[in-house]
Amino acid sequence: MHAASGRVGRLPTGLEPGGDVEAFGLQGIPRCGRMGPVRLPRVRALRHGLLTSVAVLGVFVVLGVVDLRTVVAADTLLAPLTARAEATVTPTGSGRATVTFADAAGRPQTVQVDAVGAAPGASTVAYDPADPTRVALPSTPELVAADRATTDLAVLGFLALVVLAVGAQRVISRSRLRRTPVREASVRRVRQQNRLLSRSWVEVEGAVPVQRFPVYFDPALVTLDSPTRLLVHGSGPLRAIRIGEQWVYPSGRVGTREPRGQLIDNPAHPDAAARDRAARSAPLRRQLKLDGVLLAPAPFVGIFWVFLDGGGVTVWISVTLVTAVLALWGAAVLGSDPS
């Protein structure tokens, strides 16, 4: 117990066994030439990360298809509008405006068009030479929606690259820990509760100041004595520990600063209640269920975005979905603790 920090006694975090590139649990994926069912990887953190990454990318694909259809619809609308003219725009209310211009033959044209938020005065318009009554302003709803959809596609593409890059970096860097120097050390497991997120930390004793690093959750952490002697792999900013043959990988770098929030130590000798808690927290679905609390801010982020950018219910739904799946993915990356 760390009396000075006001901690309470108990709790977990981590991962599972494997073997080199199989080290990070990739042994669940069949090699080339071997037939058989594709199973999820054995390492819990990798399964958690894969499931949330698939959810994120799935939402991105669905929203990307919707945005692409919006862009194609705008292109179809604009395709015949090959002529341009300087026009006078007079808003008439209810999202419409009167557009007055002279076509290529010099004939005056006055057309009513949909134009949300159109500013009065001069503007360049596009129109169909074969039918000058078909006119589009920069504020035509279809063009505004297409412009927003193009931006959304760029943002979704960037976020998808970030998700894939972070996932690849995590797998590669953690699997390399299997080949790093190993030593035995006295460690204790600490559960952190900070706002909506819980994480497990490992403290390595013997160094001044004490070294700490967050780890991905594993039920084996819940029943660790505190302190206990375990094998610690790595000597740089990333460390992993072994509980018997089971590997617990880091979700962050080694530091010396005490984590924020409430800190709860494992008891010196966990009892039957700790074993029951470890069994309850073992299913990955429990972790996903408890991570659901992180979805609470998503609707409010959507409302705030609509307030800033407009777009109505469709934009609110899109932003809420993206925020929600990114929150679940972020919890997997950081190593949430369901115990």
Q: Is the dihedral of CA 132, 133, 137, 140 positive or negative?
A: negative
Number of Cβ atoms within 10 Å of the Cβ of 18: 22
**Last residue in a domain, options 113, 129, 145:** 129
Backbone angles phi, psi at 183, to 5 degrees: -145, 160
30 and 36 Cβ atoms separated by less than 8 Å: yes
Q: What is the pTM of this model?
A: 0.81
Rounded Cα distance between 88 and 128, Å, is 17
Instruction: Fill in the DSSP letter of residue 119.
Output: P
Please tell me whether residues 285 and 207 are part of one structural domain. Answer: yes
- The whole domain housing 101 covers 81-129
- In sequence order, which residues have a C-beta less than 8 Å from that of residue 103 and are 6 or more positions away? 83, 85, 109, 127, 129, 132
Please tell me whether residues 251 and 147 are part of one structural domain. Answer: yes
Calculate the average pLDDT of the chain: 86
Tell me how many domains the chain contains.
Answer: 2
Rounded Cα distance between 286 and 217, Å, is 12
**Last residue in a domain, options 67, 98, 129:** 129
pLDDT confidence tier of residue 51, bands split at 50, 70 and 90: very high
Residue 12: pLDDT above 60?
no
pLDDT confidence tier of residue 84, bands split at 50, 70 and 90: very high
Tokens of 9: 């006694």
Position 117 scores a pLDDT of 80
Please tell me whether residues 273 and 125 are part of one structural domain. Answer: no
Number of Cβ atoms within 10 Å of the Cβ of 284: 15
Rounded Cα distance between 323 and 326, Å, is 5
Residue type (1 letter), 65: V
102-125 pLDDT, tens digit per residue, is: 998 889 999 999 887 888 899 999
Q: Is residue 34 situated within a structural domain?
A: no
Residue 93: pLDDT above 70?
yes
> What number of CA atoms fall less than 13 Å from residue 17's CA on the CB side?
4
Beta bridge partners of residue 201, listed in sequence order: 190, 214
Residue type (1 letter), 45: A
Please tell me whether residues 73 and 87 are part of one structural domain. Answer: no
Residue 139: pLDDT above 90?
no
β-strands 240-243, 108-114 pairing: unpaired
Q: Is residue 205 situated within a structural domain?
A: yes
